[in-house]
């Protein structure tokens, strides 16, 4: 089996594995080990629950998008270039979870963690 293909499959498996793990893991209480932790998300239990629910969903969609882009780059670009591109895409899709979640939190909560409703 082609080593580049193995690398792409490993990237996809890790991306989906982490996203699925975070989607089904229930970080019920604010803790230092597991969950989405930023200054706003740890203000109170409401912001914590909302941030973890949103970030898990966003991460799952980003993982799916990454897998599609990874497969496309392997098919249409191939070689080591596609592997480097996928390394960049994995980092990008992983990082994008943070600003998207923070934007959604700031729409729903003020800076003190009170719901805007």
Q: Write down the pTM of the prediction.
A: 0.85
Instruction: Indicate if the pLDDT at residue 42 is higher than 90.
Output: yes
Burial of 54 (C-beta count, 10 Å sphere; 0-12/13-18/19+): buried
Residue 28 is predicted with a pLDDT of 82
Considering the chain, what percentage of its residues have pLDDT values greater than 70? 99
Residue 1 is predicted with a pLDDT of 66
Instruction: Indicate if the pLDDT at residue 56 is higher than 90.
Output: yes
- The four Cα atoms 35, 38, 43, 46 give a dihedral, to 10 degrees, of -50
pLDDT digits (tens, 9 = 90+) for 60-115: 999 999 999 999 999 999 889 998 999 998 999 899 999 999 999 999 999 999 99
């Amino acid at each position: 089996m082609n080593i580049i293909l193995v690398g792409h499959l490993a990237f996809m498996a890790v991306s989906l594995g982490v996203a699925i793990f975070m989607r089904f893991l229930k970080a019920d209480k604010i803790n230092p080990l597991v969950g989405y932790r930023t200054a706003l998300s740890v203000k109170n239990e409401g912001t914590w629950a909302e941030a973890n629910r949103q970030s898990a969903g966003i991460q799952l969609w980003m993982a799916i998008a990454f897998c599609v882009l990874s497969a496309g780059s392997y098919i249409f670009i191939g070689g080591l270039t596609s592997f480097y591109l996928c390394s960049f895409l994995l980092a990008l899709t992983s990082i994008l979870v943070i600003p998207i979640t923070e934007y959604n939190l700031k729409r729903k909560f003020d800076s003190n963690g009170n719901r805007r409703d």
